[in-house]
Amino acid sequence: MKRTARRLADGREIIYFDADPDARRDAEDQRDLPPQAPASEMRRDPLTGEWVAIAAHRQSRTYKPPVELCPLCPSRPGRPTEIPEDDYDVVVFENQFPSLAQDIPGTAGTVAGMPMVPAAPATGRCEVVCFTSDHDSKFGALSRAQARQVVDVWADRTEALGRLPGVEEVFCFENRGEEIGVTLSHPHGQIYGYPFVTPRTGKELRAAERYRDEHGRDLLGDVLAAERAEGTRIVLDSEHWTAYVPAAARWPVEVHLAPRRRVPDLPALDDAERDDFAATYLEVLRRLDGLYDRPLPYIAAWHQAPVRTSRDLAWLHLELFSIRRSADKLKYLAGSESGMGVWINDVTPEQMADRLR
| Crossing angle for the helix pair 199-215 and 219-230, to the nearest 10 degrees | 80
Q: Give mean pLDDT, residues 131-156.
A: 98
Q: How far is CA 76 from CA 30, 64, 217, in A?
A: 11, 20, 55
Q: What is the pLDDT of residue 220?
A: 98
Q: Give mean pLDDT, residues 62-85.
A: 94
Q: Whose CA is closest to 123, among 144, 139, 107?
A: 107
Whole-number Å distance between alpha carbons of 155 and 149 = 10
Residues 212 and 346 in one domain: yes
- The model's pLDDT over 271-323, given as tens digits with 9 standing for 90+, comes to 999 999 999 999 999 999 999 999 999 999 999 999 999 999 999 999 999 99
Q: Give mean pLDDT, residues 84-100.
A: 97
Q: What is the domain count for the chain?
A: 2
Alpha helices, DSSP H only, in the chain? 144-162, 199-215, 219-230, 271-291, 349-356
Residues 278 and 266 in one domain: yes
Q: What is the pLDDT of residue 58?
A: 79
| C-alpha atoms less than 13 angstroms from C-alpha of 244 in its C-beta half-sphere | 24
pLDDT bin (cut points 50, 70, 90) of residue 36 is confident
59 in Cβ contact with 36 (< 8 Å): no
Residues 228 and 305 in one domain: yes
Q: Which of 148, 166, 198 is the last residue of a domain?
A: 198
Q: Give mean pLDDT, residues 40-64.
A: 89
Pairing of strands 125-130, 13-18: unpaired
Residues 125 and 258 in one domain: no
Residues 225 and 177 in one domain: no
Residues 162 and 238 in one domain: no
- The model's pLDDT over 242-264, given as tens digits with 9 standing for 90+, comes to 999 999 999 999 999 999 999 99
pLDDT exceeds cutoff 80 at 63 = no
Residues 193 and 207 in one domain: no
255 in Cβ contact with 237 (< 8 Å): no
pLDDT bin (cut points 50, 70, 90) of residue 64 is confident
Q: What is the pLDDT of residue 97?
A: 92
Residues 115 and 205 in one domain: no
pLDDT exceeds cutoff 90 at 62 = no
pLDDT exceeds cutoff 90 at 59 = no
Whole-number Å distance between alpha carbons of 289 and 279 = 16
Pairing of strands 188-194, 317-322: unpaired
Whole-number Å distance between alpha carbons of 192 and 98 = 9
Stated pTM of the model: 0.97
Hey, is 335 helix, strand or coil? helix
Backbone angles phi, psi at 275, to 5 degrees: -60, -45
Q: Whose CA is closest to 250, among 179, 162, 338?
A: 338
Q: What is the pLDDT of residue 61?
A: 75
Q: What is the pLDDT of residue 199?
A: 97
255 in Cβ contact with 243 (< 8 Å): yes
- The model's pLDDT over 235-244, given as tens digits with 9 standing for 90+, comes to 999 999 999 9
**CATH number of the domain to which 103 belongs:** 3.30.428.10
Full residue range of the structural domain in which residue 307 is found: 200-356
Q: Which of 198, 219, 237 is the last residue of a domain?
A: 198
**Which residues are known to be catalytic?**
188
Residues 166 and 259 in one domain: no
Q: Which of 198, 230, 252 is the last residue of a domain?
A: 198
Q: Give mean pLDDT, residues 51-56.
A: 92
Element (H, E) at 326: strand 324-326
Residues 8 and 156 in one domain: yes
Q: What percent of the chain has pLDDT above 70?
A: 100
- The per-residue pLDDT of the chain, averaged, comes to 96
Q: Give mean pLDDT, residues 211-234.
A: 98
Name the DSSP class of 62: -
Q: What is the pLDDT of residue 268?
A: 98
Residues 314 and 325 in one domain: yes
Residues 273 and 145 in one domain: no
